[in-house]
């Protein structure tokens, strides 16, 4: 079996094992989860996370230097950020429309009085934007601050391009460092099916069937919105902007989606998604190295969908009607919040608190959905990284055509 088949098989088998143990032998599950599933899953996550910071640094430096012309880098940056902001707006609107039509919050009686949730205050978007310049690049690397790391790496790439032959040795060293990281990614991916199995078994076995049934209507709306956004927005990007077959795209990118589903972390999946994009989707390395790390940091379409659906769900559960102005505020706040959302598990709930606060909804309502959020977090992470890859493919194809046209004119 190839890697894609192994990861998909591990996903299905892990879900079945976790659910069966939860239903028939919860005590056995507790033992297996403590001594087998959690350790194996955490080892896999640690192996991937170990590679993220050096890979992002090397990739962004090479991507910036490889693009060469600052004007070209600016053009690609504008395309990328514009695409991310537009698709995030579309994602929130899809979530709001589906939730307004299906009304999952009106599907049953919810214990709103018993809903409890405590969260740290979400950082203002303005603070995130002001802090993207690192005071200490080494500290940014140590803390895994991706925005600061990306900005620093872009400056290094600019310098290497400007200095040319003077820094040829440094550029060669960075290139070799990137090769080492990609080799290690391939090595770690051999362990992916086992890590995927363990992580899924833990997630499903811990939640159980009752939790899934209790929030079935909310889950279905979120999953439907994620599917529609992936099929129409990303499929449309691949078909009409990149001029490729969407089925080919989703099939080739499936291994990365499987890893994202099991890890619930865009950052942790980044080494895998970049490797798949470059190797299987044939995205040029400089484009992939620039677009995908940036997307893992600021492009959170899946999270934005959850925030739209959850806001409507909580409003419906509490019997609160939102005006068109408040819905517009939800869209704007969710888009801005996605810029400051770290690509790690569970952070979407913290940003949801910010969205709810913007329209005066009770933050305690998050307690209604927190039970099954881990399962949905897995799905929306797969959507997030798929959007990054679709953008990288689109930018790569349009830039390739631009270069060919430039050669033809010459």
Closest CA to 380 of 116, 95, 185: 95
pLDDT of residue 233: 97
Number of domains in the chain: 1
pLDDT of residue 384: 93
Rounded to the nearest integer, the mean pLDDT of the chain is 84
How sure is the predictor about 222, in pLDDT bands with cuts at 50, 70 and 90? very high
pLDDT of residue 241: 94
CATH number for position 59: 1.10.3860.10
How sure is the predictor about 177, in pLDDT bands with cuts at 50, 70 and 90? very high
Model pLDDT for residues 359-386, shown as the tens digit of each residue: 888 887 887 787 677 778 889 899 999 9
pLDDT of residue 12: 84
pLDDT of residue 237: 97
pTM above 0.75, yes or no: yes
Full domain range(s) for residue 159? 3-409
Model pLDDT for residues 280-295, shown as the tens digit of each residue: 999 998 899 889 988 8
pLDDT at 194 over 70: yes
């Amino acid at each position: 079996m190839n890697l894609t088949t192994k990861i998909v098989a591990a996903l299905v088998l892990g879900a079945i094992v976790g659910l069966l143990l939860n239903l028939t032998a919860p005590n056995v599950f507790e033992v297996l989860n403590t001594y087998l599933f959690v350790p194996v899953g955490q080892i896999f996550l640690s192996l991937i996370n170990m590679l993220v910071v050096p890979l992002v640094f090397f990739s962004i430096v090479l991507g910036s230097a490889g693009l060469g012309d600052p004007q070209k880098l600016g053009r690609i940056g504008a395309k990328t950020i514009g695409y991310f902001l537009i698709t995030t707006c579309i994602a929130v609107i899809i979530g709001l429309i589906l939730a307004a039509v299906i009304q999952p919050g009106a599907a049953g009686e919810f214990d709103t009085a018993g809903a409890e949730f405590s969260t740290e205050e979400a950082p203002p978007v303005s603070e995130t934007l002001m802090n993207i310049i690192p005071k200490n690049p080494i500290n940014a690397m140590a803390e895994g601050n991706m925005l600061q790391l990306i900005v620093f790496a872009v400056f290094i790439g600019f310098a290497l391009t400007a200095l040319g032959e003077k820094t040829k040795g440094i550029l060669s060293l960075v290139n070799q460092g990137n090769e080492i990281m990609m080799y290690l990614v391939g090595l770690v991916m051999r362990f992916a099916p086992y890590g995927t199995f363990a992580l899924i078994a833990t997630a499903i076995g811990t939640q159980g069937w009752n939790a899934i049934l209790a929030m079935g209507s909310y889950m279905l709306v979120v999953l439907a919105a994620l599917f529609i956004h992936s099929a129409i927005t990303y499929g449309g990007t691949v078909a009409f902007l990149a001029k490729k077959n969407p089925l080919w795209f989703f099939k080739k990118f499936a291994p990365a989606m499987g890893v994202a589903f099991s890890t619930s972390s865009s950052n942790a999946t980044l080494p895998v998604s970049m490797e798949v994009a470059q190797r299987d989707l044939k995205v040029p390395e400089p484009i992939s190295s620039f677009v995908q790390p940036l997307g893992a940091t600021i492009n959170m379409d899946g999270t934005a969908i959850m925030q739209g659906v959850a806001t409507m769900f909580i409003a419906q559960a509490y019997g609160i009607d939102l005006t068109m102005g408040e819905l517009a505020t939800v869209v704007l706040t969710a888009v801005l919040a996605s810029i400051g959302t770290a690509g790690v598990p569970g952070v979407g709930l913290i940003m949801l608190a910010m969205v709810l606060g913007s329209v005066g909804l009770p933050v305690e309502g998050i307690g209604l959905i927190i039970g099954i959020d881990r399962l949905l977090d897995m799905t929306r992470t797969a959507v997030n990284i798929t959007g990054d890859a679709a953008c990288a493919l689109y930018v790569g194809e349009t830039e390739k055509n631009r270069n060919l046209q430039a050669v033809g004119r010459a």
